[in-house]
Amino acid sequence: MTYVVAAPCVDHNDQSCVDVCPVDCIAADPGPDRKFYIDADACIECGQCAKVCPNEAILVDRELPGEWEVYAAIDAAWYRDPAIARQQVDTLHPA
Amino acid sequence: MAGTPVLLGAPAERPRPRPPLTANATLVGREHLTEDVQIILVMPDDGPLPFQPGQYMSLGLPYDGGWLQRPYSPSGSPGGVPLEFLVRQVSGGQLTPRLWATNVGSRLRIGPAKGIFRLTPDDRRAHLFVATGTGIAPIVAMAAALTRHPAPPPTIVLHGVRHEQELAYRDRLQRWAAEAPRFSYVPAVSRAGPGSSPAAFHCGRALDLLPEVWAGFRLQPDGVIAYLCGNPAVVDGAAEWLVARGVAVDAIRREEYWATT
């Protein structure tokens, strides 16, 4: 189980989640990223990020609605190859 | 709330991916309160870590090539070392059984302070703290800050535990109640055993004592700020009770200690 940053974060990215994550597992690269990404390998599932997100963008993976399930893969992809994750975000959210 | 655009911080300020984690502290002491609850003392390599009373830090042990981390709230005061954490061992948990088996002198990982469970500076309202179990840790840190305030607000600490031995920091809280102006400490034990001293605490659950505390201290809905920490069911119950009494939702701060493993 992990938490996932879903669609409402895109272009609205607040940093409240980063400020409360006890293990610093939420990140984004300056400039190119349009949302934040949660590292599933480091997430300890405390849920603090979900509580404070003003955009209600963060959900636990098993509770993602169908249209947002792809964001679990996008978050995971970012920690392997950020370019792939960004491309997927751009496809889902054309600028 | 959903869809509200919030944009804080320019892209250049966004955090970058994490650098590899390394050990940066040493376990320097421990005190067992019960078989499953202990206070551990952690000395950061670089001296005191900045934090605000009520915040938490991650504690980590090396595990499987990485780090096993969980958040804990320091109970001491900012600037003090070693840092003091109140920890309950979780049966079947990942970190705490290993922490129990870790010797003093072992190396640990400690993360930066995080969290928004904090005092509001110079808040004149009566401060009602309700804690259960190890949820007293951030409350003690916040209460300590209030005792140092030149004009402290009325402060009430209600701490509920199952067994008397789990009344962590009782000596400290009793001393503040005796010495600090406008400070009150209400310990509550739900399972007083044959060897306990019931004259020294209230028998019952914290949630059940809340109405008595409210009436006894003549609290008023618009004159209270409540800080709730511990068991999520108790936190929920206390918040519901306070709201029903007329306390505004934004005057209730809460920190739930979920069943971490």
pLDDT, averaged across chain B? 90
- Is the separation of the CB atoms in B95 and B69 below 8 Å? yes
**What is the predicted pLDDT for the residue at B183?**
97
Neighbours of B58 (CB within 10 A): 25
pLDDT above 90 covers a percentage of chain B that reads: 80
Neighbours of B26 (CB within 10 A): 18
With a CB cutoff of 8 Å and minimum separation 6, the contacts of A49 are A3, A16, A17, A20, A21, A26, A38, A58
- Is the separation of the CB atoms in A44 and B260 below 8 Å? yes
Band of residue B6 on the pLDDT scale cut at 50, 70, 90: very low
CA A20 to chain B, closest CA, distance in angstroms equals 4
Distance CA A53, CA A14 (A): 7
Distance of CA A63 to the CA centre of its chain: 14
With a CB cutoff of 8 Å and minimum separation 6, the contacts of B208 are none
Helix (H) or strand (E) holding B27: strand B25-32
CB contact under 8 A, A28 and B111: no
**What is the predicted pLDDT for the residue at B18?**
61
Band of residue B258 on the pLDDT scale cut at 50, 70, 90: low
Whether residue B198 has pLDDT greater than 80: no
Distance CA B201, CA B65 (A): 46
CA B207 to chain A, closest CA, distance in angstroms equals 23
Distance CA B70, CA B61 (A): 9
Output the six-digit token pair for A14: 């607040």
pLDDT digit string (tens) for B92-112? 899 999 999 999 999 999 999
Helix (H) or strand (E) holding A76: helix A70-78
**What is the predicted pLDDT for the residue at B164?**
92
Lowest average pLDDT, out of A7-16, B25-34, B78-87, B161-170, goes to: A7-16
**What is the predicted pLDDT for the residue at B76?**
94
Per-residue pLDDT of chain A (95 residues; tens, 9 = 90+): 899 999 999 998 788 999 999 998 999 987 899 999 999 988 999 999 999 999 999 999 999 999 999 999 999 999 999 999 999 999 999 98
Whether residue B2 has pLDDT greater than 70: no
CB contact under 8 A, A22 and B5: no
Lowest average pLDDT, out of A45-59, B135-149, B198-212, goes to: B198-212
pLDDT digit string (tens) for B7-63? 334 444 555 556 678 999 999 999 999 999 999 999 999 999 999 999 999 999 999
Distance CA B25, CA B251 (A): 36
Lowest average pLDDT, out of A88-92, B66-70, B175-179, goes to: B66-70
| Alpha-helix residue ranges (DSSP H) falling in chain B | 95-100, 136-147, 170-179, 206-216, 232-244
Band of residue B146 on the pLDDT scale cut at 50, 70, 90: very high
**What is the predicted pLDDT for the residue at B193?**
76
CA B118 to chain A, closest CA, distance in angstroms equals 12
With a CB cutoff of 8 Å and minimum separation 6, the contacts of B12 are A30, A31
Instruction: Read off the amino acid at residue B205.
Output: R
Among B10-19, B64-73, B208-217, which range has the highest average pLDDT? B208-217
Backbone torsions φ then ψ of B28, nearest 5 degrees? -115, -5
Whether residue B261 has pLDDT greater than 80: no
b/e per residue, B125-139, with b = 16+ CB within 10 A? bbbbbbbbbbbbbbb
CA A69 to chain B, closest CA, distance in angstroms equals 18
Chain A residues whose CB is inside 8 A of the B2 CB are 8, 55-56
CB contact under 8 A, B71 and A39: no
Three-state DSSP class for B228? strand
Q: In angstroms, what is the C-alpha Rg of chain A?
A: 12
Mean pLDDT of B217-221: 97
From the list A55, A20, A64, A54, the residue with the least C-alpha distance to B115 is A20
Neighbours of B70 (CB within 10 A): 22
CB contact under 8 A, A44 and B260: yes
Q: In angstroms, what is the C-alpha Rg of chain B?
A: 19
Three-state DSSP class for B180? coil
**What is the predicted pLDDT for the residue at B17?**
58
Question: How many CA within 13 A on the CB side of residue B43?
Answer: 9
**What is the predicted pLDDT for the residue at B20?**
75
ipTM score here? 0.80
CB contact under 8 A, B5 and A28: no
Of B14, B18, B258, which is closest to A47 when you measure between CB atoms? Answer: B258
Backbone torsions φ then ψ of A35, nearest 5 degrees? -155, 175
